[in-house]
Amino acid sequence: MAKFEYKAVDKANKSVSGSIDAASSSSARNTLQKQGLRPISIKPIKGRGNIKIPFVGGGKVKGRDMVIFTRQLATMINAGVPLVRSLNTLVEQTDSPALKVHILEISKDIEGGMAFADSLEKHPDVFSPIYVNMVRAGEAGGILDEILKKLSIQQEKDASIRTKFKSAMTYPLVLITITLTVFIALMTFVVPRIGKIIIDLGGENAKVPPLTQAMLAISNFMVTKWYILVGAGFIITFFLRRYLKTVAGRKTKDRVLLKIPVLKTVVIKVAIARFSRIFASLMSAGVSVLDSIEITAKAIGNTIVEEELMEAAKVVANGQQFSVPLAQSKVFPPIVSQMLAIGEETGQLGEILIKVADFYEEEVDATVDSLSSILEPIMIVIMGAMVGLIAASVIGPISSLSSQI
């Protein structure tokens, strides 16, 4: 929570000023409007926000805990259990200490008269804008249990894709680690000893091929100046991580991912599947088209796709159908805009996009399953080439010098 200073005008056109606690400036604006005030300016008050005290045994709320919480809450609300009682019951049910603290705070807010969605908005680290907006739409339409079921399905699909991708990348990462370990071991232990043998056989002025000279120079640098390499590694890693957290860094990373042949396919299919399911869920929950596009764009996880969707939102704001700007996309294939156009014409946009999401999620599964089999032989070839290069650079001169003795 943060504190905001505001200036507003009431219904009698009298100036009103003060401060308000809210999760964001937009949340503060909504709260003031509900109080019958017309905000003129809203500014954050620096250094006066609430101090968050770390909770004992807490930490980040895991995705699986969120899925279980959402599904159980949907079941209890569908059974007619009051919201506050449902939340208090789930406090005892969940195994996550972090989630328990958040649920307790939400329950207290609701008992104090706050709307469920507004209370969730106070916990942005746990409940995403998609979650909050869908709950708000569910509350307004009286279909909160159905919305929560859709949210749990969406969370499960996202978690499944992430798990499969991590699983597919595990073996290639192990091979990369082994390759680097073998390279370091050869260059720091084996090559120096072989270099000594070459000097013993041919003397200080022994002529060796350029490749061997390069390998001996690299080995000598790694052995004598290892601290420079370690320091440079830490510095590069530190600044690279900081850069990737910036807007420019995220754009660069996402642009590179969309150019790597194998990963490009996975990234695009994941983006399409996530876009289709989230957009369909928001539309079926009664969220406006523009809000659905903006919320979905921020949830995709790729800044290049986000920019395309935000540009499409500007076209939709001018009266065009969403399928029109999406047909010009450089990321989304034509089939997505065509299916979207059919959904707009038939009034079954949600159902059609869910089918698109199911199709591309199956495509993601197939691509991810083949990813490991594609990368495995590539890594083995790289490892073999590296070892062969070192062997050729050191064994050749030894054989040549031995034949001259």
- Which SS3 state, helix, strand or coil, does residue 144 take? helix
Q: What pLDDT does 114 receive?
A: 84
Q: Which helix (H) or strand (E) holds 307?
A: helix 303-317
CA–CA distance, 5 with 16 (Å, rounded to integer): 11
Among all chains, which residue has been given the structure tokens 């597919």? 168
Q: What pLDDT does 51 receive?
A: 38
Q: What pLDDT does 53 receive?
A: 37
Both tokens of 116, joined, read 């469920």
CA–CA distance, 168 with 376 (Å, rounded to integer): 10
Q: What pLDDT does 236 receive?
A: 93
Question: Which residues are 39's β-sheet partners?
Answer: 8
pTM for this model (two decimals):
0.64
Q: In 3D, which of 368, 297, 281, 372 has the Cα closest to residue 331? A: 297
Q: What pLDDT does 239 receive?
A: 92
Q: What pLDDT does 231 receive?
A: 92
pLDDT < 50 regions, the chain: 47-58
Q: What pLDDT does 48 receive?
A: 41
Q: What pLDDT does 155 receive?
A: 80
267: how many CB neighbours lie within 10 A of its CB? Answer: 20
CA–CA distance, 188 with 122 (Å, rounded to integer): 54
Q: What pLDDT does 234 receive?
A: 93
Q: What pLDDT does 232 receive?
A: 92
Q: What pLDDT does 58 receive?
A: 47
